[in-house]
Amino acid sequence: MKKDTAKKLKMVIEGIAQKIERHKKLVAGGCPAVGIFWFLKKKSGRLEMYAPGTPGIPYKLGEDDGEFINYPVSHYHEWRDMKVMFKKNVKNRIYPEPFDAYIDKEYDDAPRGRIVYSKLNKKFYVHVTKSLMKPRIKTLICKEFRLPANTVFMNDEHYG
């Protein structure tokens, strides 16, 4: 019985290691990413992007829901997890300075967005709140998520 459990555990670990290696290769190769993000206001007043992942995940590893490839985690769940981790690690400051001001706020209190890939149109779509439809912010999102020039930005009321 113990040998079967050890064998299964070894297979799981090897599978995870293979996924991590594939992820690293895709990122190193410039593979565009799907993901979620927030823009948090620093004490200086400047907005800083926070995006889980590297940021996001290469779209080839994203969640396929039929028409789109998406990031597998919601803003709500990621924010909840960030708050728990931040409260536990406040001395280590593992999250960016702006998050201090948002620790007691909800996930939808900060400007946010989501990047998806349309399999039908073969394009990336960035759904954002209106306040993020600025050239500097669009450029930063494209750079950080390695998005191509034909990426479409959409003002989406869901994120505002």
**In which band, very low, low, confident or very high, does the pLDDT at 149 lie, cut at 50, 70 and 90?**
very high
Which 8-state DSSP code applies to residue 45?
S
Return the structure tokens found at 65: 């829901």
* Tens of pLDDT, residues 40-81: 888 788 888 888 877 889 999 999 999 999 999 999 998 888
Determine the 3-state secondary structure of 57 from DSSP. Answer: strand
**Identity of the residue numbered 85:** M
Pick the closest to residue 71 from 99, 32, 43, 101 (CA basis): 32
Average pLDDT of span 133-153: 96
Pick the closest to residue 35 from 67, 15, 61, 6 (CA basis): 61
Q: Is the peptide bond before 55 cis (omega within 30 degrees of 0)?
A: yes
The model's pTM is 0.84
Average pLDDT of span 106-126: 95
d(CA 154, CA 146): 18
Where in the chain are the domains? Answer: 1-27, 31-159
